[in-house]
Amino acid sequence: MSKPQRSVTVRVPAKVNVQLAVGPPRPDGFHDLANVFLAVDIHDRVTATPGAPAAPGTPRVSCTGPGSDRVPLDAGNLAVRAAVLLAAHHGRDPDVHLHIDKDIPVAGGMAGGSADAAGALLACDALWGTATPRAELLALCAELGSDVPFALVGGAALGLGRGERLTGLPVGGTFHWVFALADGGLATPDVYRACDRLRGRSPVPAPAADPALLAALEAGDARALAAALTNDLQPAALSLRPALADTLAAGEKAGALAGLVSGSGPTCAFLAADAAAAASLAASLADSGTCRTARATTGGVAGATTIESHA
């Protein structure tokens, strides 16, 4: 046990998938992946304070920030599920109030819900003084969702299995990204289903990480990384949201090294050569009329980090 706290705030990054190779559907409904994650400098903040439950065994949760009206505030909230899971793991009550200050686009394919789950685990662990070993925290993350372990570790990593079996990857420099945010979201299960539908009966190779992409990450070489970006979910996301093709075309016309749909979409991600190119690309995209807004940022960045703790 460590000393319980009165309030703990954790910041957790969004991610972009620089490679998302998707295998055939498994009997459990998931897909085997070769999923290369990169954490980017867009963060949610999760604050845990002691509080009476909303209902027996269910923590109270509140949410502010863009799109927060679309975040469920019941037992289905991934941060709430994280607090309940950690409390059960330690045989205690989940008597906590969670506040989520969102900056990661909601249902945008940038793992915002997963980030909130990882943030809630870390914040509750410090609040309660339960000092859960890292390996146990990672196992709890994997129970909560395929992308949750990566939100805890950050940086860059290859995720195998459903994406939860992580190996950290070296990153040799800062990459400059622009994210074009869309109105509304896309539901991840719908996008995977569309992917299966579009593939029909064609054989699907076993997913594997691309050595050229891993080398580009390690070298910090934006042009080489741009040449290697792939997302097997992109055709599916475009089939559900055809207007995303206009966003991708606008980014490439405005000088992006390359663009792709981020994860299951609908956010589109563009690599830029440097910070100045990213700023001008973000301005062009914001003016293009093909997205709600665009923002420049960088990656990789650290995973979930405690930024405030009051005893």
* Active site residues per annotation: 15, 147
Q: If we measure between CA atoms, which residue out of 19, 16, 17, 22 comes closest to residue 212?
A: 19
146 binds ligand C5P (CB under 6 A): yes
Please classify residue 276 by burial: count the beta carbons closer than 10 Å to its beta carbon, then call 0-12 exposed, 13-18 middle and 19+ buried.
exposed
Near ligand C5P by CB under 6 A: residue from 150, 175, 177, 192:
192
- The 8-class DSSP code of residue 108 comes to S
Compare residues 23 and 220 and give the one whose CB is closer to ligand C5P. Answer: 23
212, amino acid identity: A
| Stretch touching ligand C5P by CB under 6 A, among 42-50, 186-194, 255-263, 275-283 | 186-194
24, amino acid identity: P
37-96: which residues touch ligand C5P (CB under 6 A)?
none
232 binds ligand C5P (CB under 6 A): no
260, amino acid identity: L
Separation of alpha carbons 114 and 15, rounded Å: 10
| Helices 112-128 & 78-89 angle (0-180, nearest 10) | 40
* Other CB atoms within 10 Å distance of the CB of residue 252: 14
| Stretch touching ligand C5P by CB under 6 A, among 28-36, 39-47, 165-173, 217-225 | 28-36
Near ligand C5P by CB under 6 A: residue from 19, 188, 231, 247:
188
| Stretch touching ligand C5P by CB under 6 A, among 36-44, 84-92, 124-132, 143-151 | 143-151
| Stretch touching ligand C5P by CB under 6 A, among 142-150, 170-178, 204-212, 278-286 | 142-150
Compare residues 164 and 270 and give the one whose CB is closer to ligand C5P. Answer: 164
52, amino acid identity: A
109 binds ligand C5P (CB under 6 A): no
Q: How many CA atoms lie within 13 A of 270 on its CB side?
A: 32
Evaluate whether 276 touches 310 at the Cβ level (below 8 Å).
no
Binding mask 151-170 for ligand C5P (x = CB under 6 A): -----------xx-------
Interface with ligand C5P by CB under 6 A: which residues?
A: 30-31, 33, 145-147, 162-163, 188-189, 192
